[in-house]
Amino acid sequence: MIRYSKTTRILALDNKSIGYAVYVNDAGYLETLYFGKRLAGYTDFDCVRKSGEFASPRYVVQTGKEEGYADGFKAACAPLEVSPHGLWDKRGAPLIVRSKEGSFETDLRFKSVRRLKGVPAIEGLPHAHGDAETADILLEDKNLRVRAHLYLTIFADKDILLKSFCIENFGRKAVRLTRAMSMQLDLPRADYDLVHFHGRWAKERDYCCNALTDGIQEISSNHGRSSAEENPFVYLKEKNATTDSGEVIGFNLIYSGNFKFRTLVTPFRGLHLLYGIDDEDFEWKLSAGEKFFTPQAVIAYSAEGTDAMSQTFHRFIRENLMTYADNCEYKPVLFNSWEGCTFDFDTDLILAYIDDAVKIGTELFVLDDGWFGARNTDAAGLGDWKVNEKKIDLKRVITHCTAHKIKFGIWFEPEMINFDSDLFRAHPEYVLGWGKEELSLARHQFCLDFANPEVVDNIYAQMRAFFKEYPVDYVKWDYNRTVAEHVSAAYPADRQGEIYHRLVLGYYSLLGRLTREFPKIMFEGCASGGGRFDLGTLYYCPQIWCSDESDPAQRIDIQFNTSIGYPLSCIGSHVNDSPVAPYSTKAALALFGTYGYEMNPNKLTQEEIDTLAKTADVYRKYHRDVIANGTLYHLRAPYEGNYMCMQCVSQDKKTSLVLFMNKFKELDVFRFVRLKGLDARKRYRNTLDGQVHTGEYYEKIGLNFSEAWMNEFSHALVLLTEVTK
Ligand code: GLA
């Protein structure tokens, strides 16, 4: 519910469990009074707003006098929704507007507030939807003809807040936004740990947990994509918080480009957070009458530890973010050709792959890179989205899939170009940064200038023509390099600060057009593995390839950590032929995601085929209700000891799957794992020892995984099913 009292000037937002309160002070700034568990009333904030001797004085030119604010506003340290810039407050403003005359001062003050039903649409950007209410707070700059709407959204059935801005130039002169972040959040305490997910290619999303330090810390990406180096999902946790106790506040951004999460522990021991598009190399010209929308920042609140926050994000992503119709439904068992044969295939080999892939339960065969243009190595072909008919008879491949009653999917990398391509020869100016003496290469490729709508239209026309000719059910959308030389020949000098953001807008515009026009095709995101695993992509793509690393030694961490912020239903995970662990182990791990394969299927032994087919059966039977739509519990993190354990429980609490995975060989140790989320009174049979126990037993005593001898990466996949008789 959202209420605003003109008498107390307090704006309160709450649902059944969380509350948020903002006070419009005498100066017209929005002071953040409260964020936490729901309160019975929202008037009594005496201790938070103590007026005192630090109240900020000012000299009023008209009266020639020194004046303070009657309500004791302290400009340097009062928790605010929108700090001004260029004044006494030095903590950092979320928005900075540069006037035509060159001043940076940005001083947005309250004008009015209205209540909107639902979530406001964010023009040109993916955004959330659902049962929510929004406070649309109108702010106006004291000096410039610039307005900002601060949208504060609260969900009815989830402990989620959204924050974003729409900045509008209602004057006659153009202004420049030199910072346009999505949110500020000020909290009156700073005794939190900051968790973020650092990484690199094939080692995405490493768990990093550090105490907030005095001064500024930044988690950011300037790679032009959300990146493998840092993920936009971060959280703060109270010092003693665990998976099921303590305060945890999670953050994410519905965006796929450069971002910055900046924490400042102030000298006053308060916390000042900014989150949004990275302001490095950002500048946006806002001409008269124009608006700029920032991406939505998503904030999840939990008073009960990290798993409650994680489950809130999972439900939010599934129910309020993804737009693909079947996102929570069953996702077919996928076979991808890449690791099996990379570029070295012909029609016969692919047909032979399909014949053997179906034996391990494949329901969707994906032909990865190498089918188009002159793409026989990674040095050529990107940009030429025409089937290389000398190499592959795609129609025959599709017919073969249909004969096997399985679906067919294909790989694209729409935002990239090789210099050895017809598109480059015809349009070198389509390359981002074109006009320079030298351009950086990665995998022999450049980024296309997706800031230029003509380039986006060209790729759209090529892809559309392909989809019209070839009936594909699935597309893997890759993005295999970092952006460099972010200069666009299509824009004048004074608009080059817009390019990073415009590249992302180009990505969304193409993906948006294609997903609307071909709603039956399921698009999976990918970027050198998991380099663009973010909420912007998930809006269009119900799953994202998690990492090119499928070897369980690293994969355990990657998958576990990814699943803290993102639901298992969107985590693309495949069994490959890495020699570190047996297929049964790799398959059990892949089951906790959207299950698939990448290997040479012609080389599998009968025993391996049986193992994989059996796991595919488990997936078919339980994926939708237990993994995709169930509740996930992180029972033991792989970095907390020598084993990892995760559990999923179906919504009706009748079925549960537990994955236990050992790391290094260890002899003679107890391994009791207490389960969660079961009905205490129901009785369940478990497949570990075949016994029947109550939910209470499993929660209090647990499952006993102790074995005298436990090898590297040995695992147990345990199914618990309710016993009614
Ligand atoms: C990236 C992807 C891989 C594969 C290759 C193809 O690295 O992450 O899965 O598609 O590109 O070139």
Question: How far apart, in whole angstroms, are the C-alpha atoms of residue 60 and residue 284?
Answer: 33
pLDDT in tens, 661-686: 999 998 888 999 999 999 999 999 99
> What's the token pair of residue 559?
């998958």
Question: How far apart, in whole angstroms, are the C-alpha atoms of residue 343 and residue 378?
Answer: 8
What burial class does residue 37 get, using C-beta atoms within 10 Å of its C-beta: 0-12 exposed, 13-18 middle, 19+ buried? Answer: middle
- Ligand 1 center to 525 CA (angstroms): 11
- Per cent of the chain over pLDDT 70 is 99
- Ligand 1 center to 673 CA (angstroms): 37
Q: How far is CA 589 from CA 554, 567, 660, 717, in A?
A: 12, 15, 9, 9
Question: How far apart, in whole angstroms, are the C-alpha atoms of residue 483 and residue 509?
Answer: 18
Question: Does the annotation mark 449 as catalytic?
Answer: no
Of 413, 528, 544, 597, the one to substitute when testing ligand 1's pocket (max ligand atoms within 8 A of C-beta) is 528
Phi and psi of 144, rounded to 5°?
-105, 160
> What type of residue is 332?
P
- Ligand 1 center to 583 CA (angstroms): 22
Q: Ligand 1, atom 1: nearest CA belongs to which residue?
A: 528
What integer pLDDT is reported at residue 189 of this predicted model?
Answer: 94
Q: How far is CA 162 from CA 120, 135, 534, in A?
A: 10, 10, 16
Question: How far apart, in whole angstroms, are the C-alpha atoms of residue 226 and residue 403?
Answer: 40
What integer pLDDT is reported at residue 192 of this predicted model?
Answer: 98
pTM recorded for the entire structure:
0.98
Give yes or no for a contact between 598 and 576, defined as CB atoms under 8 angstroms apart: yes
- Ligand 1 center to 520 CA (angstroms): 23
Question: How far apart, in whole angstroms, are the C-alpha atoms of residue 161 and residue 185?
Answer: 11
> What type of residue is 403?
A
pLDDT in tens, 297-325: 999 999 999 999 999 999 999 999 999 87
Of 376, 481, 548, 575, the one to substitute when testing ligand 1's pocket (max ligand atoms within 8 A of C-beta) is 548
pLDDT in tens, 570-603: 999 999 999 989 999 999 999 999 999 999 999 9
Dihedral sign computed on CA atoms, order 514, 516, 521, 524: positive
First to last CA, the chain: 45
Distance of CA 697 to the CA centre of its chain: 36
What integer pLDDT is reported at residue 328 of this predicted model?
Answer: 62
- Ligand 1 center to 529 CA (angstroms): 6
Question: How far apart, in whole angstroms, are the C-alpha atoms of residue 136 and residue 148?
Answer: 10
Q: Ligand 1, atom 6: nearest CA belongs to which residue?
A: 369
> What's the token pair of residue 508?
């969304």
At 330, the pLDDT band (50, 70, 90 cuts) reads confident
Of 204, 344, 375, 480, the one to substitute when testing ligand 1's pocket (max ligand atoms within 8 A of C-beta) is 480
Binding pocket residue ranges, ligand 1, CB within 6 Å: 338, 368-369, 411, 478, 480, 526, 528-529, 545, 548
Q: 107, 548, 551, 557: which is the annotated catalytic residue?
A: 548
Contacts of 648 (CB under 8 A, 6+ apart): 568, 592, 626, 627, 630, 631, 632, 633, 656, 657
Give yes or no for a contact between 656 and 677, defined as CB atoms under 8 angstroms apart: yes
> What's the token pair of residue 77?
């340290």
Looking at per-residue confidence, does 123 or 401 come out higher?
401
pLDDT at 50 > cutoff 70: no
| Cβ-count burial 111-130 (b if 16+ within 10 Å, e if not) | eebeeeeebbebebbbbbeb
Other C-beta atoms closer than 10 Å to the C-beta of 489 total 15
- Ligand 1 center to 62 CA (angstroms): 66
What burial class does residue 679 get, using C-beta atoms within 10 Å of its C-beta: 0-12 exposed, 13-18 middle, 19+ buried? Answer: middle
Question: Does the annotation mark 186 as catalytic?
Answer: no
At 69, the pLDDT band (50, 70, 90 cuts) reads confident
What integer pLDDT is reported at residue 488 of this predicted model?
Answer: 97
* Atom of ligand 1 lying closest to residue 526 CA: 8
- Ligand 1 center to 606 CA (angstroms): 28
Question: How far apart, in whole angstroms, are the C-alpha atoms of residue 376 and residue 609?
Answer: 30
Question: Percent helix, strand and coil across the chain, each rounded to 5?
Answer: 20, 35, 45
Of 445, 474, 526, the one to substitute when testing ligand 1's pocket (max ligand atoms within 8 A of C-beta) is 526
What burial class does residue 711 get, using C-beta atoms within 10 Å of its C-beta: 0-12 exposed, 13-18 middle, 19+ buried? Answer: middle
Q: How far is CA 32 from CA 8, 19, 20, in A?
A: 14, 12, 8
pLDDT at 52 > cutoff 60: no
Tell me the mean pLDDT in the region 142-153.
98
Q: Ligand 1, atom 11: nearest CA belongs to which residue?
A: 528
Question: How far apart, in whole angstroms, are the C-alpha atoms of residue 668 and residue 708?
Answer: 5
Question: How far apart, in whole angstroms, are the C-alpha atoms of residue 704 and residue 712?
Answer: 18
Q: 449, 478, 557, 577: which is the annotated catalytic residue?
A: 478
> For 132-151, what is the HEC assignment?
EEEEEEEEEECCCCEEEEEE
| Cβ-count burial 609-628 (b if 16+ within 10 Å, e if not) | bebbbebbebbeebbbbbbb
Lowest mean pLDDT among 45-49, 107-111, 153-157, 463-467: 45-49
* Atom of ligand 1 lying closest to residue 598 CA: 9
At 700, the pLDDT band (50, 70, 90 cuts) reads very high
Question: How far apart, in whole angstroms, are the C-alpha atoms of residue 715 and residue 725?
Answer: 30
